[in-house]
Amino acid sequence: MSQMNYPVPTEQAFTEIMIKKSRFIAYARHIVSREAGMIWLTQIKTEYPDARHHCWAYMVGHPHCATNAGMGDDGEPSGTAGKPILNVLNHKGILDVMIIVVRYFGGIKLGAGGLTRAYSQAAQAVMEILPTEQQVLMEGIHIECDFALEQQVRHWTTQVEGSVNEVNYTQKVQMQLRIPQDKTQNFIEQLESIQCSFKLVHE
């Protein structure tokens, strides 16, 4: 995994496993914030109102920021549900993701170790079928150049799979671009080679 790109979920995944008569129903999907995750958790609780537990964990952010993570045991013994789910997320390298595991108690107590393994197993199972795609981190660049250089800058932007978001024509051409972060340094060197003024716009 490139340090500039990372996989994120594209669709919701769902799976169910049975362990000693307890049903573990696992969901995973893309979220962009804790608030969005909590709204989804409420929806799942509404769908399974008679379940004993609705345990969860999430990770939001990207490798260059302090990752926002959270977890909840929802009545299970502390550390036996949310933590093993979060551990699975930590090892997968997929971000902006949340897992919720709904448990229907089957009458046989699993013990702390058994619960930890069961929630980990449910989280692993749903992550194995979760569809993902690479999220490319983009950098904003504001450029000012002579009219004669506009087509060259547009060509370079296309080459690096960037985008031209806005163009204003005054005495010079002013362009707002978005460039993949892992290609920004080379792009800047090209701009410097034609003496084009630029400013990075951190988003």
pLDDT per position as a tens digit, 121-171: 999 999 999 988 887 778 889 999 999 999 999 999 988 888 888 899 999
The rounded distance, in Å, linking the Cα atoms of 75 and 64 is 34
Q: State the pTM of this model.
A: 0.70
CATH of domain 137-201: 3.30.70.240
Residues in contact with 41: Cβ distance below 8 Å, sequence separation at least 6, in sequence order: 54, 56, 72, 100
Q: What is the pLDDT of residue 135?
A: 76
Lowest mean pLDDT among 65-74, 106-115, 162-171: 65-74
- Kindly give the interhelix angle for 82-92 and 111-128, rounded to the nearest 10 degrees: 40
pLDDT per position as a tens digit, 9-62: 888 999 999 999 999 999 999 998 899 999 999 999 999 999 999 999 999 876
Which of 30, 43, 31, 56 lies closest to 122 in space, CA to CA? 56
Q: How confident is the model at residue 64 (pLDDT cuts 50, 70, 90)?
A: low
Q: How confident is the model at residue 3 (pLDDT cuts 50, 70, 90)?
A: very low
Is the domain 5-134 a CATH 3.30.230.30 member? yes
Would you kindly state where each structural domain of the chain is located, as residue ranges? 5-134, 137-201
Q: What is the pLDDT of residue 45?
A: 97
